[in-house]
Chains A and B, each alone.
Chain A
Amino acid sequence: MNPSTDDPAPAGTARARAAKRRPTPGKRAIDRLDALLGGAVKTGLWVWVAMLVVLTVWVVVTSLKTNGEVFTDPFGLPKSPQWRNYRLAWSVSGFGQAAFSSVTVVAAAALLTMVIATPAAYVLARVNRRSADRIITYFAIGMGIPAQALVVPFFLMSNDLSTFMTDWVTGWWDDRISLALIYVVLSLPFTVYLLTMYFRSLPTEIEEAAAVDGAGPTRTFVEIMVPLARHGLVTALVLNIVALWNETLFVLIVVGDPQQRTLPAALLELYNTMQYTSNWGGLFAGIVILVMPMILLYLWAGRRIVQAMTQGAIK
């Protein structure tokens, strides 16, 4: 409902009349309440932000403490910063290995997703056929299917793939390859959808000019459209990197060898041994190792991430 059509009188006179109206006592009480509420919410928001900052600082500080200090003085500063927590987390608790797995699996999956999704999104955005609209909807459906509907088949398929490759083809297999392939499949619907919307927002004149100059469609796509869509492509890439970096469920299900698992799983693994090892400083160092790359990515591309996640969502 449009508020300006509520009042049948012309807007100008309504405004003037309203401005002259004296506030009744009841109205004034409501206004006071309103001001009070406004102040409370603003304060609440700042408290919320402060909690975030304090929690982050506390995690970093705790990661530099000895085990004793973690418990005896949870909110104090360490006597001397224990950088060895990081060294030990990296080498002994396997975060170095896990970081390697995370970086390679996420990079390979995110790039392969782009290679497969970009050409598809381009033609879906540009071809005027009824089938294109239907296929876009078909991809959009995938965004609403929870990954849990795929857990059992992916678990079985990755096992079969591993056995098949080991017995018949290569003689070995690395579950991380299966994991990367699963990530590509899971990222595909969202990426195709987002990029289709992005290509639609680009002007068509440039392609037409290129065609007049005699460029074929493949050359137009590779040499003109991909560079032109750079901003949207990088955004999609970054969004997939964020999602895959934090993914945990399929790592736990598909990758059997704990040594080959990615960072979130390595952190869980270490957390589970805490009651025996009580290596609390190392645990918090692990949290920082897992979280820091995303914070840096956010500092670099924060506005772009927020924009794509929210506006991509609305369109």
Chain B
Amino acid sequence: MGLDRREVLKLVAGSSLAALAPAFARAQTVGGGSGYRATVMLFLYGGNDANNMIVPTDARHADYARLRGDALAIPQGSLTPLTGTNFGLNPAMSDLASIWDQGALSWVLNTGPLLQPLTREQYSNSPSLRPANLFSHDAQQNLWQTAGAQSELTTGWLGRIGDRYVDAGVRNPSISLAGSQRSLIGDRNSPILISGNNLSLYGFSPTDTSTRTTTRRAAFDAMLAGTQGSRLADITAAIMQGDLDAGAVLNDVINGSGSIVDANFLDANGNDVNSSLATQLKRVARLIEGRDRLSATRQTFVVSTGGFDNHRDQVGSAATNGTHAGLLNNVARCAHGFWNVMKALGMDADVTLFTMSDFNRVFEGNGSRGSDHAWGSHHFVVGGGLNGSQLLGRYPELALGGPDDARDDGRWIPAVSVEEYGGALARWLGVSDADMPYVFPNWSNWNGGGRGPIPLFA
């Protein structure tokens, strides 16, 4: 029993091969205006301690300092003020304050996976209402990326947005610069994954048309085209074929000359930014710069940075330096650099960058100058299309065992669900009311009754 090659290609339709097939001009039927729009998800792997990212500067700071402990607490005077609010930023993230002041950044406070709106009492008395496998890295990463709450979903909410694009004939080559990410996997589309610079096949120069080379290529292609012994192998071979086809186009976009990206990827002080995350975001920027060559009208990107799982020694000689501060500094400078490029490209209103992470960390420090796994967390969103400079959601009441604490050490029960956060982005990307339940399986729990997408956009 074999699988017809065309059937295989249909199965992976929307993956790299189909996404870059010769451009076709179908009317865009997914709503939300015309032109190009893209979201960039920045995943902070390991569980970012958002408690030290944005901190109240009013009377609550005393509670903050007491509960976190001397090792972790950032002194009030060290925080970078967030204009017009009672909050300050970790000084390592001062670059974000500059974007905030330009009206192109908002904060979403205490957000995370939820099955339905949840109180401390419900959490304690009704375990069936809790999301699955709280406090576990990969389970919570999956819940953030799939919006499954209690179900193990194999597709992600960005991937399911992509399914709707595929259904509507919208060109949506989703791209991960961060390896395989469940968030971008849909039933009818899957992401192009780019992890390095090298997208050319050794031994096959495009200008070499000698018989020696063309016959070798013909043999290479014949090996690739063969029918395999299993469905797994047939699909894998089709993916390989698709990636080779896509790479030929992408190579030029990512590595070609004439890009303005590198020159404009600057932090708030005008300095170049170089890190793995910066490299990923520069490639995203180049892909946006070259969007017409991919014939893309809607795109979803994923980038990531890791190292946030600091059970010990997350701070250095002071809470304002050390491992965590270094990680946040890179994130903020990269966000600034990316924002700066989007402005230079004139794409700032059409591109939105947002963060996700496994979970927040326990508010109470753990005695090893680190912090352990918790739940509801704070995130930021950058883009010219935002109704910017907003604090959305609700900052938790800083009391161990208080109404916002799932346990007794500061594991915040989210005030905003992944659906409400992601829903705002989905709507901006053009997902209709009718399609929201497809993208977010638990949408009925978040639609109405005072709940729904948070008002991120103007």
Whether both chains belong to one complex is answered with no
